[in-house]
Structures are given as C-alpha cells and as structure tokens.
C-alpha cells in the first residue's frame, strides 16, 4: 500500500470527522466549550435484579416537585415491562410489571430536576391525625422517658428539643439511655426509628422524608432520610445526622413515610444506584433536544443516550486517545525515549486520581524504592519470571506501605497511590534496572525522566475539562485523531532530538 | 534556527529514524524474513550453506537441562564466546579469554566460577537479552583472534566492520573499535568508536565516539584515521552476498577480521543504526537514492561491488 492510499484515507476520515463536528456545532448548536453549570440536574435511579421466571412487580417512589425543586422531565426505561404511576398516600409511585421474566433485569428512572426560586412558605398544613403510642416497655420506656425529659430540660422550644434528642441519640457512649434505643453503633436509620418513637411518646406528630442531596461531590447519591416535625400549622425539618433544623435546598424528596424506596416481587439479588449529575447550562441539553427533532437517528445512537454511569466512564475513556496521540508526537516527532510504549499514558491516567504533583511524588517514590529492591534481587541471580513476580509483589507491598504511612501522617491524597497500574509499574522498574545495568545510570534516568515528562503532559492533555468535553460531545473527533495517527505513521521528517544528534553533519566540513 | 538545521541536514542527505523505518526497513525488509537475521544461529547456518566463513560453533544450549553439561562442551576450548541467539545490539555477549584452575577468566580479567557461568547461560535461555524477552538459546562459539592491525586502536574486545547493504550494494561502511567505556564491546551505543571507511579504498575516514568526532583512540591515543583495512574487496563481497543470503533489502552486515581465518561473517542487522553517517560525515540518502535510480541492475556480487566502488567513493 502506497503513501497515497494513506493520504486519501486520512483525508476522508478527517472530512467525515470534521464534517460531523461542524454540523453538530452549526446546525444543532452543540457547545464547543464546557458550559457554566446550570440549576438543572439529571437524576437517574437504576434498579437491577434477577427475575425468578414468574411474574415480576417492581414499585418505586419517584421524586415529587417541592417548593424548591421541580421535576421538569421524566423517563422510564425498561424492556418489556408495563408501567403505571399512581399516587399512594400523597407519594408518587411508579409500578413496573411483567407477566413472565427471567434472568438479569434493569429498570431505569431518569428525570431532570430544576431548582426554583425559594417560594414563600407553603400554606398552613393540617394537623395530622394523632398517632398511636409506641409499644415501648420496661427499660426501653424508662430510657425513652429519661431521654425526653433531659432533652426538654436542655431546650427552649420544640425545635431545640428535637435537635437535642437527635444529638443524644448519636452519643450512646455518653448516654446509656440512648444506647438502649439505638444500640452501640447508631446509624441514620436507627436514629430515625428511635427519634420517631420518642416523638410519638411525646405526642408530637413526626414523619420521615426520603430523598437524595443533589450537590454531593461524588456521582453516586446515597438515599438520606430527614425528620419532619409538625408544630403550629407547619412541618419543620431536621437533619437526622446533626440535628440541624431546616431542609437543604438541594434535597430532592422521593417519598414521605417510612416505607422503603422500592419493592421487588418475583426477583432477587436486588441492587440499586442513584446517580446525580449537574447538567451544563444553555448548551448540551438544549442542543441534544434540538438534535432529537432535527435528526433523530444521530442522537439515538450517540453517547448521550447511554445510562449516566456509563457516560461518565466514557468521559474518561474518550480522553485516552488524546493522550496516545500526544505520545506519538512526543516519540516520533520530538524523539523522547520512554519505558514501554503506552506506559506514560496509563500513568497519566492514574494521575487523574492522584493529581499531578502527588502523582509525580508517589510515582518517583514507588519506582525508586522498587528499583533498589530490584538491584538487590539482581545479586540473588533469579530466573526471569519468578523475579518479575517478586518485583510485582514488592511493588504492591510498597504501595500498601505508602498508603498506610501517609494515612497516619494525615496525607490522605497519598492514599490514591493504590490507583497506579501495578503491572505497568513492575515493568517500568524491570526495564529501568536492565537499562541501568547495560547502558548506565545516565541513560536509565534520562529514559525515566522522559517517561515522566510524557506522562505529565498526557495527564494535562487528558484531564483538561476542555478535552474531556470536546471528546465526549464530539466523539467523531476520534476519526480526526485516527487520521492524524495514520499520517504520522508515514512521517519521514527528522525527530527533534536527531537535529542535535546529527549536528556534526549540519555544520560545513572543516 | 530549527528549520535552518533541518535544511542543512536535508542538504547533507542525512537519513533520520522515521525515514529509515518508513522508506527503507518497512519497505524493503519483509516481516517474514526477520527471523533469519534476528536469530544468529539461523544466519550462521545460511552463511555456511552459501560457503561464507563464520566463527566456528562449539555448541548450542537450548533448554535449561543442558546447562549441566555446559562444562563438558567447553572442555576442549580455553577461549570462547557465549552469546544469546536473539540478542540485540551486542547485549549479553560474554567473552572468555582463558581458565584459572577450573574457573573461567573473562577478557576483562574478571574470574567467573562454574556456577556463575551456568547462571549466565540460564539468564540467556530465559530471555534476559532477547528482543521482547522471548525464551532464547545460548550459542557457544570460537573467540575471534583479531588482526594485529587493530591492536593499537582497540581496547580488549574485537573490532568489527559494519557495512550497510542496500539491495545488494554496499553503500556505507565503518569500523567499530571497542573502548574501555564500551567494556570491550563493539557497539556504538555502548561506547565504542565508529570510524567511517571509504567504500572505494577501504581506508578509514573520520571517527565518532559518543556522537562526537574524534581522530585518536581515547584509551590508546593512537590515530584512528587513514588506516587501510585488509581484505577490503573480500569484505565488500561478503556484505553484498548477505543480500542474496536473506533477501533483506536494507541490512547492516557485521564482519570481523580474524588473524588466521580472515574475514568472518558475524551477524546481520535488519535495523542498522544511523550513527554510521556521523562516522562517515556523510548522509546515507544520496547513496540510497542513487541505488534506487539504477535502471539496469547488475546481478552478480562482483558487479555490485564494482558499481559501489565506482560510484560511492568518499569525496
């Protein structure tokens, strides 16, 4: 195959990739730069289970619009299930049903939630019907009464009393009465249960909210319950974790009441995840919506149609080719030597988790320590494969030791050393020691530094928000990268380091 | 500044690594021929079949079990060389120059015990020196007695002559002289000196040591330029014949001069290095392009050698 073939192929690939890119920008209005974060969140609940083969019924509470958060769009995704939504005791409930199903099943609920301007407090709430007294007996009743009494003594009104109660319940080691009600290790659910019992005993109407907070840093949002207490025509909320009064603005309520979030009949191994992501303003969502109308096929088969957790994986994966392309440039145009072809890209990927500075420090630490052990192994005269295994074991030990030491020093960033690809580290140490033995320390350190510089550059290229956004929203740019790689595969120019290497030939003959 | 350097290098016809790989090794060296040159045992067998002289093979160790018998193989030989069949760039070559009681004395004077030598062979078998760490074989062969000509200008090891052969034409040559830095080995990247050789006459031109131009041997202080290499025509003939042997279009041929046996073919290299250009203070490209332009290509080894001597003389 001649060069012309490659040129034509690259040209066509570039045309296709760039054409699609420009079409999406001009015609569909996809944003080229990552947008400002908006007041719009995507919330996705995924329930997976294994159906037993008979009828399956899954019911789940779904979010409701509150005075601060409005559910503006909803999707239910399932394969072959019938869906109904009903109101149950004021809660919205979705029910999926199917007559016969077997094997692994996954149901998705997806909605867009928008933050609203905080409205005036809602209308006066009716006093709920009085609840039956809790069935507390003997020592439990005594403990509950003592707790209530001390909370009342230490507070001025209902709000502060509830806060005191929650505080007491979280301290079973200071308060044997609390220990009796919540057990030695209280968690949110136990505290919630105990608080409800105590308030019922005190004849104060109370209920539980279940929901998620939208602005937690991680992608996965845990279900958190909140306590509401009725007094004088309104419900006031308390954080069951701290006793603090008030409902946070980002708390999205799924249901009111003690029932669990979802029920599955006819299936087992039930697992659920709730993912929350803040969407970009004025850009992506609107463009995707427009695209769905203008050109439905295009969006149907785009990454934006994938489940959100898969999307966030692809946000990372699609940046890897950028790092690989950078590596090609560094090796074939600049001429930097590295240990192993793709080692710098993989290390750069690990730097995403550790951050650059810590990444460099940890990498140097592991390689330096590993190298000294490897030199010791060299003197033991071991066979190749057992020696590699031994170095791998040492690398894992070193990583564990670094984590433990740094944790005790309070350097929690260093814990992320666990994310280094250990096989790659092992091979780096092995190759570095061989180069050290055969070509001398200068060559080995030079190649090691080269690898590190390329890894740092690859990290900077891959982790930039701009790169991530571009590659994820416009995956067709991969075709342009592919074309670029093919072209560089035919590159015959000098490498930058060769200009120095051959400089004696560039000067005129003496 | 950068573009000025690029332009001057282009004018000098210097071949870069990317261009060598793209235009020459990828284009002229078919992948299936690589095993012929990457495995020194197969190269040796091919050369013997074609009637070329090679260093005599004393024995081959192929499996770990044979290592026990290594000392019997070595019984009759005071001097020998152990090398990996698939080593790259001279890595892993062990030169034994004699015995000290029942131990082995290396060319550097270091004494190696019997078990150490066995361990060394085992390392070779496990692929320590081979390309990509593949399991390998260890060759035990005749230790070349170098020509007295080179005594003054090499340190310990055996100097060898590298000739780059393009489509059967010897296009550029250099002689590689071991130094103290290279630990007696003749590879430039290990610190040996490379001195350019005029294809037409066999006289050494300038020399390069660690990418710098030198005129004297750094260890012995003797001049390395203007020396006549003996048997030059035979050397060119062997190099040209290596093409017929393997079919590799772009290959580096390594030959040693033995005091008693004359030129011996040592090994072939499918990715010959580019420092030969610095040693010759000349670029490879004009010569390669000249060969590519030949319309009626001479077929015999003699004709190709004659063509090279006529057209590729040093200025």
Q: Is residue A1 in some structural domain?
A: no
Same domain, A435 and A369: yes
- C-alpha angle A79/A85/A90, rounded to 5°? 150
Residue A51's domain is classified under what CATH number? Answer: 2.60.40.2250
In a domain, A46, yes or no: yes
Enumerate the residues of chain A whose CB falls inside 8 A of the CB of residue B212. Answer: 504
Judgement on whether residues A233 and A320 belong to the same structural domain of the protein: no
Q: Does the ipTM surpass 0.90?
A: no
Residue A50 lies inside a defined structural domain of this protein: yes
- Domain of A202, CATH number, reads 3.10.620.30
- Which residue from A376, A369, A368 is spatially nearest to A449, judged by alpha carbons? A368
3-state secondary structure of A188: helix
φ and ψ of B168, to 5 deg: 90, -5
Q: Under an 8 A CB cutoff, do A499 and B119 touch?
A: no
Max Cα distance, chain A (Å):
108
Quote the tokens at residue A320: 């890897």
Report the distance separating Cα B223 and Cα A118, nearest Å.
Answer: 91
**Torsion region of B156: left, alpha or beta (phi above 0 gives left; psi -120 to 50 gives alpha):** left
Are the beta carbons of A506 and B278 separated by less than 8 Å? Answer: no
| Closest listed residue to residue A41, CA positions, set A172, A176, A244, A212 | A212
Give residues with Cβ within 8 angstroms of A37, minimum separation 6: A278, A279, A280, A281
Q: Is B229 helix (H, G, I), strand (E, B) or coil?
A: coil
Q: Which residues, in sequence order, are CB contacts of A246 under 8 Å at separation 6+?
A: A236, A237, A239
How far, in Å, are A179, A200, A241, A329 from residue A163 at the CA level?
A: 17, 16, 10, 61
What is the three-class DSSP state of B205?
strand
> Number of folded domains in chain A?
3
Determine, yes or no, domain membership for A31.
no
- CA A370 to chain B, closest CA, distance in angstroms equals 19
| Residues on chain B touching A332 (C-beta within 8 angstroms) | 18
Q: Looking at domain B2-52+146-311, which CATH architecture does it have? A: 2-Layer Sandwich (3.30)
Report the 10 Å Cβ neighbour count for A405: 11
Contact B16/A383, CB-based, under 8 Å?
no
Residue in A439, A501, A509 closest to B281 by CB: A509
Residue A457's domain comprises 316-474
| Contact flag B16-A494 (C-beta cutoff 8 Å) | yes
Instruction: Check CB contact of B133 with chain A, cutoff 8 Å.
Output: yes
Q: Select from A501, A505, A509 the residue whose CB has the most chain B CBs within 10 Å, as the one to mutate to test that interface.
A: A505
Q: Going residue by residue through chain A (510 aa), what tens digit of pLDDT does each one get?
A: 568 899 999 999 999 999 988 888 887 777 777 765 556 777 888 888 888 888 888 888 888 777 777 777 777 877 778 888 888 777 888 888 888 887 888 888 888 777 766 655 555 666 776 666 667 777 777 777 777 777 777 777 777 777 777 777 777 777 777 777 777 777 777 777 777 777 777 777 888 888 888 776 656 677 788 888 887 777 778 887 777 777 777 788 888 877 777 888 888 788 888 888 776 655 566 666 556 555 656 666 677 777 767 777 888 888 899 999 999 999 999 999 888 778 889 888 888 877 788 888 888 989 999 999 998 988 887 777 888 899 999 999 988 888 888 878 877 666 666 777 888 888 888 888 888 877 778 888 988 999 999 999 999 998 888 888 888 888 899 999 999 999 999 898 899 988 888 887 877 554
Fold of B57-141: Dna Ligase; domain 1 (3.30.1490)
Does residue A130 form part of some domain?
A: no
In a domain, residue A290? The reply is no
Q: On the CB side of B215, how many CA atoms lie within 13 Å of its CA? A: 1
Minimum distance, in Å, between the CA of residue B136 and any CA atom of chain A: 12
CA–CA distance, A248 with A216 (Å, rounded to integer): 12
Q: Where are the domains of chain B?
A: 2-52+146-311, 57-141
Q: Which of A390, A426, A431, A499 to mutate to test the interface with B (most CBs of B within 10 A)?
A: A499
Tell me, yes or no, whether A310 lies in a domain: no
Beta bridge partners of A60: A94, A262
DSSP code per residue over A230-248: EETTEEEEEETTT--BS--
**Tens-level pLDDT at each residue, chain B (315 residues):** 778 888 888 888 899 999 999 899 988 999 898 888 888 899 999 999 988 889 999 989 888 888 888 888 888 888 898 999 887 666 788 888 888 888 888 877 888 888 888 888 888 888 777 766 678 889 999 988 877 777 777 777 678 899 999 999 999 999 988 887 776 666 777 778 888 999 999 998 888 887 777 888 877 778 888 888 888 999 999 999 988 888 899 999 999 888 888 899 988 988 888 888 988 888 999 999 999 998 777 888 888 999 988 888 877
Shortest CA distance from A340: residue in chain B = B132
CA dist list (Å): B191 to B82, B90, B106, B186: 21, 12, 19, 8
């Amino acid at each position: 195959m001649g060069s012309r073939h490659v040129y034509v192929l690259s040209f066509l690939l570039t045309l296709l990739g760039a054409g699609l890119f420009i079409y999406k920008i001009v015609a569909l209005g996809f944003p080229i730069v990552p947008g400002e974060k908006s007041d719009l969140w995507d919330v996705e609940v995924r329930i997976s289970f294994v159906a037993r083969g008979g009828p399956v019924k899954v019911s789940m509470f779904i979010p409701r619009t509150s005075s601060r958060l409005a559910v503006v769009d909803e999707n239910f995704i399932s394969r072959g299930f019938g869906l109904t939504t009903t109101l149950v005791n004021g809660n919205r409930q979705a029910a999926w049903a199917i007559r016969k199903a077997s094997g692994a099943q996954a149901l998705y609920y997806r909605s867009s939630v928008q933050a609203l301007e905080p409205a005036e407090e809602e209308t006066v709430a009716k006093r709920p019907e009085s609840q039956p007294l809790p069935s507390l007996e003997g020592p439990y009743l005594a403990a509950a009464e003592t707790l209530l009494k001390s909370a009342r003594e230490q507070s001025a009104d209902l709000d502060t009393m509830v806060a005191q109660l929650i505080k007491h319940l979280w301290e079973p080691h200071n308060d044997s009465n609390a220990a009796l009600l919540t057990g030695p290790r209280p968690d949110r659910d136990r505290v919630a249960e105990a608080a409800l019992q105590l308030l019922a005993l005190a004849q104060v109407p109370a209920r539980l909210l279940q929901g998620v907070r939208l602005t937690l840093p991680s992608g996965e949002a845990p279900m958190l319950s909140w306590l509401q207490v009725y007094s004088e025509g309104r419900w006031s909320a308390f954080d069951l974790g701290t006793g603090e009064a008030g409902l946070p603005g980002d708390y999205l309520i799924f249901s009111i009441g003690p029932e669990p979030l979802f029920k599955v009949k006819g299936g087992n191994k039930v697992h659920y995840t709730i993912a929350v992501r803040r969407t970009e303003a004025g850009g992506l969502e609107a463009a995707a919506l427009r695209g769905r109308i203008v050109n439905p096929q295009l969006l149907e088969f785009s990454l934006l149609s994938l489940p959100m957790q898969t999307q966030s994986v692809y946000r990372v994966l699609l940046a890897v080719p950028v790092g690989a392309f950078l590596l090609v440039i560094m090796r074939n145009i600049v001429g930097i030597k590295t240990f192993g072809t793709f080692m710098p890209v993989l290390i750069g990927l690990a730097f995403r988790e550790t951050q650059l500075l810590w990444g460099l420090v940890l990498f140097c630490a592991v390689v330096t320590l590993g190298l000294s052990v490897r030199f010791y192994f060299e003197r033991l005269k071991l066979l190749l494969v057992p020696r590699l295994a031994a170095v791998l074991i040492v690398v894992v030990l070193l990583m564990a030791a670094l984590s433990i030491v740094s944790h005790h020093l309070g350097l929690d960033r260093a814990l992320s050393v666990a994310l280094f690809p250990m096989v790659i580290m092992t091979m780096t140490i092995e190759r570095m020691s061989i180069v050290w033995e055969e070509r001398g320390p200068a060559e080995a350190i030079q190649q090691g530094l080269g690898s590190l510089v390329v890894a740092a550059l690859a990290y900077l290229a891959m982790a930039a928000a701009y790169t991530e956004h571009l590659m994820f929203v416009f995956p067709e740019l991969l075709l342009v990268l592919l074309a670029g790689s093919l072209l560089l595969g035919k590159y015959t120019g000098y490498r930058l380091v060769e200009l120095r290497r051959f400089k004696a030939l560039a000067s005129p003959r003496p | 500044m950068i573009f000025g350097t690029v332009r001057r290098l282009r004018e000098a016809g210097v071949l870069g690594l990317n261009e060598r790989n793209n235009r020459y090794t990828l284009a002229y060296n078919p992948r299936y021929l690589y095993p012929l040159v990457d495995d020194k045992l197969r190269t040796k067998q091919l050369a013997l079949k074609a009637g070329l002289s090679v260093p005599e093979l004393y024995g081959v160790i192929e499996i770990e079990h044979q290592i026990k018998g290594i000392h019997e193989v070595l019984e009759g030989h005071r001097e020998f060389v152990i090398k990996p069949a698939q080593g790259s760039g001279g890595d892993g070559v062990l030169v034994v120059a004699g015995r000290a009681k029942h131990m082995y004395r290396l060319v550097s004077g270091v004494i190696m015990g019997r078990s150490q030598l066995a361990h060394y062979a085992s390392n070779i078998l496990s692929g320590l020196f081979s390309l990509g760490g593949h399991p390998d074989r260890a060759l035990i062969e005749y230790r070349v007695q170098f020509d007295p000509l080179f005594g003054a200008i090499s340190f310990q090891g055996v100097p060898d002559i590298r000739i780059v052969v393009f489509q059967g034409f010897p296009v550029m040559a250099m002689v590689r002289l071991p130094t103290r830095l290279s630990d007696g080995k003749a590879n430039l990247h290990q610190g040996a000196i490379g001195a350019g050789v005029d294809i037409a006459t066999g006289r050494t031109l300038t020399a390069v040591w660690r990418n710098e131009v030198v005129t004297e041997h750094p260890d012995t202080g003797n001049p390395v330029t203007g020396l006549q290499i003996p048997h030059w025509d035979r050397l060119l003939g062997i190099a040209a014949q290596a093409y017929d042997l393997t079919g590799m279009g772009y290959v580096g041929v390594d030959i040693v001069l033995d005091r008693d046996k004359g030129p011996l073919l040592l090994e072939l290299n499918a990715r010959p290095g580019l420092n030969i250009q610095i040693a010759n203070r000349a670029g490879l490209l004009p010569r390669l392009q000249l060969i590519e332009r030949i319309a009626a290509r001479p077929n015999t080894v003699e004709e190709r050698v004659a063509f090279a001597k006529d057209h590729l003389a040093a200025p």
